[in-house]
């Protein structure tokens, strides 16, 4: 008996192909949008978490929001010295970051961001960040006018690719390229140039400035307790609270909350198309009931019960949602993978999409339920038709 419902429903949908597919199309668009948005945001969140696992959970960062060079509000080498008095740290790395520097190579000029840190920390910091070299290696203590290029900087800044032992000019000083990095997965790091911090301070006349302090805590220490101790030390030295200490937990929590808000907004927008699709199903089913009034009258006159007619139309509307759900899920994942390919081409290979069985099953069930709920009122109307009235009205 149940099989008969599906056979009749399928036959009715096939007889009205154009209307059926136009109705299904509304569900396809909404389901594809929701699946794509959820899978992309989940993929981004998982990728960010993976990057933080690489960085390690035993580190935190000291930054000054909006601190500008020469204003006295940013970090300085004295802050680094104060932190080095704390015995819980394995090592501390001060950074000097220059947002844009002019470079000359092969008679061409280009601009790139510059990251500088101490030569003695170079090798272990690259290892900590899971950076690998496609050419050369990290600069070493004692080397001065040397540079390391990110993968994108090496290939995209100039007409000619940059390789180890090439000479690049910065501030009228020639730097020897000692390393070229493999792609890390985000354009900011892959487009950067790395040099020793003493060289950067001399070249850009910033003898005391520090943009960021990266602190590695000794194994077995409570990072939150150590971070709080570091905060008190800096407050005493600076006599202000104009800085932030960011632990991995805080950063991940902030990113997760931000991604959650963005995801909720985007899914809410996509849900509007789902409402439109549901209205389309309802309209299609009402039209179907009107067109098949005579058929309903015949069915009831030969013994069909109200429940049989109700189930027949519910199955039909559910099939619309089910088919739309299947195609929508497939298209949603195709769109997601398309976004990852586009992002990788733009230098952001960090985004990874994985098939989520719960999302697939949930999307399919949700689409089917939407179809059935949208068809509930038309189905109820069809089931309440009296056979005599139906036959008379259809004449």
Give tens-digit pLDDT for 196-236. Answer: 999 999 999 998 899 999 998 888 888 888 888 999 999 88
User: Which pLDDT value is given to residue 347?
Assistant: 62
- Degrees (nearest 5) of the Cα angle 330, 332, 335? 110
Query: pTM to 2 decimals?
Result: 0.67
3-state SS, the chain, equals CHHHHHHHHHHHHHHCHHHHHHHHHHHHHHHHHHHHHHHHHHHHHHHHHHHHHHHCCCEEEEECCCCCCCCCCCEEHHHHHHHCCCCCEEEEEEEEEEEEEEEEECCEEEEEEEEEECHHHHHHHHHHCCCCEEEECCCCCCCCCEEEECHHHHHHCCCCCCCCCCEEEECCEEEEEEEEECCCCCHHHHCCEEEEHHHHHHHHCCCCEECEEEEEECCCCCHHHHHHHHHHHHHHHHCCCCCEEECHHHHHHHHHHHHHHHHHHHHHHHHHHHHHHHHHHHHHHHHHHHHCHHHHHHHHHCCCCHHHHHHHHHHHHHHHHHHHHHHHHHHHHHHHHHHHHHHHHCCCCCCCCCCCHHHHHHHHHHHHHHHHHHCHHHHHHHHHCCHHHHHHHHC
Residues 395, 383: Cα–Cα separation, whole Å = 19
% of the chain residues with pLDDT over 70: 82
Report, in angstroms and rounded to the nearest whole number, the Rg of the chain calculated over CA atoms: 32
255, pLDDT greater than 90: no
Average pLDDT estimate for 252-274 = 77
What's the pLDDT score for residue 2?
66
**pLDDT (0 to 100) of residue 313:** 73
pLDDT category at 170 given cuts 50, 70, 90 is: very high
pLDDT over threshold 50, residue 181:
yes
CA-to-CA distance for 175 and 190, rounded, in angstroms?
19
Sequence ranges of the domains in the chain: 2-53+252-394, 65-242
pLDDT tier at 68 (50, 70, 90 boundaries)? very low
Q: For residues 272 and 294, give the distance between their C-alpha atoms in angstroms, rounded to a whole number.
A: 35
Report the pLDDT value the prediction gives residue 69, as an integer from 0 to 100.
44
Return the sign of the alpha-carbon dihedral for residues 335, 338, 343, 349: positive
Angstrom distances, CA of residue 312 to CA of 8, 149, 377: 8, 66, 13
Q: What average pLDDT is seen over the chain?
A: 81
Q: What pLDDT digit, counting tens, does each position of 111-154 carry?
A: 999 999 998 878 888 887 778 899 999 988 889 999 999 999 99
382 versus 136: which is more confidently predicted? Answer: 136
Q: How far apart (Å, rounded) are the C-alpha atoms in residues 97 and 61?
A: 14
């Amino acid at each position: 008996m149940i099989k008969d419902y599906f056979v009749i429903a399928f036959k009715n949908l096939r007889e009205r192909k154009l209307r059926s597919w136009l109705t299904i199309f509304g569900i396809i668009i909404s389901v594809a949008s929701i699946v794509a948005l959820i899978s992309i945001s989940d993929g981004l969140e998982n990728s960010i978490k993976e990057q933080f696992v690489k960085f390690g959970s035993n580190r935190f960062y000291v930054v000054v929001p909006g601190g500008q060079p020469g204003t006295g509000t940013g970090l300085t080498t004295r802050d680094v010295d104060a932190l080095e008095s704390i015995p819980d740290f394995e090592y501390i790395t001060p950074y000097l970051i220059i947002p844009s520097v002019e470079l000359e190579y092969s008679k061409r000029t280009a601009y790139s961001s510059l990251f500088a840190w101490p030569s003695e920390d170079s090798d272990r910091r690259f290892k900590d960040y899971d950076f690998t070299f496609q050419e050369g290696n990290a600069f070493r203590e004692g080397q001065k006018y040397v540079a390391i290029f990110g993968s994108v900087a090496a290939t995209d800044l100039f007409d000619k690719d940059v390789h180890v032992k090439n000479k690049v000019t910065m501030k009228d000083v020639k730097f020897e390229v000692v390393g070229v990095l493999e792609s890390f997965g985000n354009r900011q790091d892959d487009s950067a140039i790395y040099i020793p911090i003493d060289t950067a301070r001399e070249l850009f006349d910033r003898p005391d400035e520090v943009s960021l302090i990266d602190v590695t805590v000794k194994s077995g220490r409570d990072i939150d307790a150590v971070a709080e101790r570091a905060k008190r030390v800096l407050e005493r030295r600076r006599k202000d609270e104009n800085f932030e200490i960011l632990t991995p937990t805080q950063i991940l929590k902030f990113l997760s909350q931000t991604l959650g808000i963005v995801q909720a907004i985007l899914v809410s927008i996509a849900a509007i198309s789902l409402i439109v699709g549901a209205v389309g199903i309802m309209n299609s089913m009402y039209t179907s009931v009107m067109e098949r009034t005579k058929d309903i009258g015949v069915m009831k006159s030969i013994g069909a019960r109200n429940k049989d007619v109700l189930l027949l139309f519910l199955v039909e509307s559910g099939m619309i949602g089910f088919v739309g759900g299947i195609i929508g899920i497939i298209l949603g994942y195709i769109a997601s993978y398309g976004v990852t390919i586009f992002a990788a081409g733009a230098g952001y290979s960090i985004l990874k999409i994985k098939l989520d069985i719960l999302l697939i099953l949930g999307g399919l069930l949700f689409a089917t339920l939407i179809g059935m709920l949208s068809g509930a009122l038309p189905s109820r109307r069809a089931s309440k038709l009296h056979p005599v009235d139906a036959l008379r009205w259809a004449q």
